[in-house]
Amino acid sequence: MNKRVLMKGNEAICHGAFDAGCWCFFGYPITPQNQVPEYMSLLMPQAGRVFLQAESEVAAINMVYGAAATGVRVMTSSSSPGVSLKQEGISYLAGAELPAVIVNVMRGGPGLGNIAPAQSDYFQATRGGGHGDYRTLVLAPSSVQEVYDLTRDAFDLAEKYRNPVLVLADALLGQMMEPVTITREPLDPPTPGASSTCGTRTGERTIVNSLYIVPEDLEAVNQRLADKYARMCRDEERWEERIPANPDCLIAVYGSAARICQTAVELLAERGISAGIFRPITLYPFPYAPLRALSERVPRIIVVEMSAGQFVEDVRLAVEGHCPIGFFGRTGGVVPTPEEVVDAVLKQLGDETRG
Amino acid sequence: MSHEDIATHTSLHHEVIIAGFGGQGVLKMGQTLAEAAMMEGRDVVWTPAYGPEMRGGPAFCTVIISSRPIGSPVVAQADSAIVMDRLSLQKYQGSVRSGGRIVLNSSLVDPELVRRDIARCAVRANHLAEDIGDARIANMVLLGAFLRMTGLVQPATIIQALRQALPERRQHLIPLNERALACGADAAEMLLPTAV
């Protein structure tokens, strides 16, 4: 306890899941998350838990469905193209209200793309991703410590809401090593609860299903889901803000890009520019209200993301036109340097002064 | 900078590039450095370059060691570099800031190729490693030289980190690693007056 351990983000995913009492892991290899199944193949059998390398991503997510139905804690992980393949299964999990954790170590896209860090699966992650009216709770770590903490929290949130929870990391967070301090005692895998399928021992039938032929029945399910998502929005928003007294601008950013912007803020300070940072930790629910409040205190918001512009749309929804919003993005697996962010901010502030 | 200087230094931030080819122990050297710096209470980030590489292909990582929480894990302008082969020198010396340092393996790289605005420390790491008994320990010879030049981490902490990282059946290699670090430090020591 409380010992600092140097580990990769991908290892931190495994420790977070293991310490949350994850009983089953189903995976399929894809770079840059390969250390997750590799490490789980060591960790899980040692403790008598289940590691299974499935024949495909689709098989893995359906194994997750089956295991979740029995009430055990379960996780799968993949990277962008593999997570696309899992979307049908995630929709079924949401429809059947099964708790599960899905990790996406994002890489460049679209298509096969490449194996470098990207944040271009934001829409997929925050808008459901598969078919139907559903949402997954989305957690976005920005350090290896947070990868551990949020993966662990993901299991509690999944059970609390009986809903799939997504941990959205990227190739940079997956591959880099940082010190992690584990302060919480590891949990033993919990005993499956009453809502799980456990045969007919109790005499009660538990039905796990997402098929509702009668439209009115399905509408009632959708209403129940909508109410649940509303509760998530009310209770689960997480964000971090660092706002100086009289900011010249606010940088809105999440995940590993936030780390780069943190250095950019220091460089900007050396040039006499005072910039704040707003970093959502939950991407769904998105902390709209806190950002809306900040937009009245800052002259301008600049959005930085490793995508052509996805996260920026939620910032616009939050701000509702109350202040100008600039954008700086790199794509294709290119990670911006702090200096590039500084240049982008200076340019946008310059544009503003010129009016 | 000596260890005494480090101890009195309230603010430290150092970014180092480590490069060579697969099998030279580049990634392990970086991890050991990061691990030891963490044990000395620093914040650290180790970041590898990774790709569809093959055995013997280029190997590269960066380590950031800081007295305060580290922001960007990406190194754009390094304070120093440890370079184990010629290709890596060509590829990465442009990423070292003016006035920075390079510790290079002069068994495989001509020191004359180093930019003039960088302090260089040329160590015949492969030769020295063979002299002390194992060609594979060239990485630790260079690390010893690097630590003598920068004072970033105590060599004793490197050994402590290795003790923790190595499995039981490899613990007998600790004395060899100690010799390699000391040998690299001695080589750097001789070069220090002319290093700039």
**A32 at B interface, C-beta within 8 A:** yes
Confirm whether A4-193+209-235 and A240-354 share one CATH topology.
yes
Question: Cα–Cα–Cα angle for A117, A104, A194, nearest 5°?
Answer: 165
Closest chain A residue by Cα to residue B51:
A115
Segment A181-190 mean pLDDT: 93
Give tens-digit pLDDT for B46-59: 999 876 666 778 89
**Mean pLDDT, rounded, for B66-82:** 95
- The per-residue pLDDT for A200 is 63
Asked whether the predicted pLDDT for residue B160 surpasses 60, the reply is: yes
- Cα–Cα distance, B182 to B154 (Å, whole number): 11
| Residue recorded with tokens 């860090």 | A117
A interface test, pick of B65, B72, B97 with most A CB neighbours within 10 Å: B72
Closest-CA residue to A119 (of A343, A336, A345, A347): A336
What single string gives the DSSP state of each residue in A14-32?
A: HHHHHHTT--EEEE---TT
Give the architecture-level CATH label for domain B3-191: 3-Layer(aba) Sandwich (3.40)
Question: How far apart are alpha carbons B79 and B74 in whole angstroms?
Answer: 13
Q: Which residue of B has its CA nearest to A340?
A: B76
Using a pLDDT cut of 70, give the percent of chain A over it.
Answer: 97
* Interval A203-244: pLDDT, tens: 777 889 999 999 999 999 999 999 999 999 999 999 999 999
Q: Which residue of B has its CA nearest to A263?
A: B71
Query: pLDDT tens for residues A258-311?
Result: 999 999 999 999 999 999 999 999 999 999 999 999 999 999 999 999 999 999
Contact residues, chain A, for B72 at CB < 8 Å: 259-260, 262-264, 337-338
> B152 pLDDT exceeds 80?
yes
Q: Is A34 on the interface with B (CB under 8 A)?
A: no
Residue A353: per-residue pLDDT:
57
- Distance, C-alpha A334 to centroid of its chain: 20
Position B4 scores a pLDDT of: 42
Q: What is the mean pLDDT of chain B?
A: 91
pLDDT digits (tens, 9 = 90+) for B95-108: 999 999 999 999 99
- Across the interface, of A179, A259, A339, the residue whose CB is closest to B71 is A259
Considering CB atoms only, which of A177, A266, A339 is closest to B71?
Answer: A266
Residue A206: per-residue pLDDT: 84
**Nearest residue on chain A to B65, judged by CA atoms?**
A178
Q: Which fold has domain A240-354?
A: Rossmann fold (3.40.50)
A30 pLDDT above the threshold of 60 = yes
By Cβ distance, the residue of A6, A262, A339 closest to B76 is: A339
Size of interface A-B (CB pairs under 8 A): 64
Domain ranges of chain A: 4-193+209-235, 240-354
With tokens 């939950």, the residue in question is A282
Note the ipTM here.
0.93
Interface membership of A189 toward B (CB under 8 Å): no
- pLDDT for position B192: 65
Nearest to A117 by CA among B61, B48, B69: B48
What is the DSSP secondary structure assignment for residue B104, as one 8-state letter? Answer: E
Euclidean distance between CA atoms A330 and A85, whole angstroms:
25
Give the whole-number percent of chain B exceeding pLDDT 70. Answer: 90
Domain coordinates in residue numbering, chain B: 3-191
Reported as a single tens digit per residue, the pLDDT across A35-46 is 999 999 999 999
Q: According to CATH, what is the number of the domain A4-193+209-235?
A: 3.40.50.970
Q: What angle do CA A127, A128, A130 make, to 5 degrees?
A: 125
Min distance B126 CA to chain A CA atoms (Å): 28
Residues of B with CB under 8 A from a CB of A: 31, 34-35, 38, 43-48, 50-52, 70-74, 76
Nearest CA in chain B to A6: B35
Residue contact A256–B73, C-beta within 8 A: yes
Neighbours of B23 (CB within 10 A): 11
Quick one: DSSP state of residue B55?
T
Mean pLDDT of chain A: 95
Q: How confident is the model at residue B195 (pLDDT cuts 50, 70, 90)?
A: very low
Beta strand residue intervals within chain A, DSSP E: 4-8, 24-27, 50-53, 74-78, 100-106, 137-139, 164-170, 177-181, 239-242, 249-252, 275-280, 282-284, 301-305, 325-329
Q: Would the pLDDT of B14 be above 90?
A: yes
Greater pLDDT, B163 or B6: B163
Q: How close is the nearest chain A Cα to the Cα of B191, in Å?
A: 33
Looking at residue B90, its pLDDT comes to: 96
Among residues of chain A, what percentage have pLDDT more than 90?
92
Are the CB atoms for A174 and B39 separated by under 8 Å?
no
**Ranges B42-56, B102-116, B157-171: which has the least confidence:** B42-56
- Is B5 a residue whose pLDDT tops 60? no
Contact in structure between A278 and A262 (CB atoms under 8 Å): no
pLDDT at position A1: 53
